[in-house]
Structure 1
């Protein structure tokens, strides 16, 4: 009986202190990355992730400015920006591919103007989370 009570206590304690993004399946522990949280997003992990995607798309559309000499529809180019939201919740550019230098600079400026947010996590610790965003002109 005493062993059963200890086992129940340990099971209850383990589930009480479990971290988001950590699950145990059989003898395997899986640690999932938790996405950064955009300011104003709340709810479950899935809701925060969906909110992040929506807010990012809105941010890009609202803050994009065509460089001098370009107008909507004047070019048929694609710029792809790879970036992370770092451990402090700020965007950092990793790589920019495609398009002209002017379009690349505007895409970088747009991404770097993303607001500061709660950083992503893995195993309860801040972690840089990678993203890749295509800008199609």
Structure 2
């Protein structure tokens, strides 16, 4: 059974990691956001981080009091970047907390508060081709019904904007972040479509469903550590086979240095 005899739906997702090493950057000095409240601060990055942390804590504490906490460690992550007017792009704010019962209200309120931050200026402004992202992380223990901050690894310390560049297919030119991701996505779909074969056994047994695929593109551009989760091993085997046939890619980069990047692709096998 070929791909023409079945329906194949592919969604390609780049997964940002929780924190990133920011040393030895070829893009230093890093882009720095200066908000109104931090205009006179000695360390603008520390001031911005503390301002956002204050909002995080305020939201968590209000939600925390309304239910019995079941998770002993709350982990939060925040990602955003700037728009063409050097203000925080309210369409590109991504927040998360590792508590399903809190996450919806937490992200809705925190996204709103971050979008309302007014940027006074941007120091070390980078060209639009290299539009940096801002990653912040705050972790708390919840012992004795109290929130206590957990120190992050020094590599996770906020130091300003980080420039991420997605892996590329061979001979794919770098243009800008959005174009590169869209082109990579299109080429990935072409690769999967051209190698996809619905397993005959699955057809005979009327097996269908969604297979989630996780893999890494390492610093050399090799694809590895392929993991799958789906309704049947036979569909998972087909998904792994397709990904294993990917060519050696151009590696992703962070601040100019090659970086191991994780990806996720759900494939729907539908008869």
**Shorter-chain TM band:** 0.7 to 0.9
Partner of 2:239: helix, strand, or coil?
A: helix
Q: Is the 2:216–2:224 Cα contact (8 Å) retained in structure 1?
A: yes
Are positions 1:33 and 2:146 aligned together?
Answer: no
Structure-2 residue corresponding to 1:19: 27
Q: Which residue of 2 aligns with 1:59?
A: 191
Q: Which runs of 5+ in 2 are unaligned?
A: 1-25, 35-43, 46-159
Of residues 202, 213, 222, the one that matches 1:70 is: 202
Counterpart in the other structure of 2:261 = 129
CA RMSD of aligned residues (A): 2.4
Shift in CA distance, 68/93, structure 1 to aligned 2, threshold 3 Å = farther
State the aligned residue count: 119
Deviations 1:46-104 (A, max 9, x none): 322211010001111111122232339x3331110111111110111342111211111
Asked if structure 2 preserves the Cα contact closer than 8 Å seen for 1:34 and 1:120, the reply is yes
TM-score w.r.t. the length of structure 2 is 0.40
Note the C-alpha offset of 1:119. Answer: 0.2
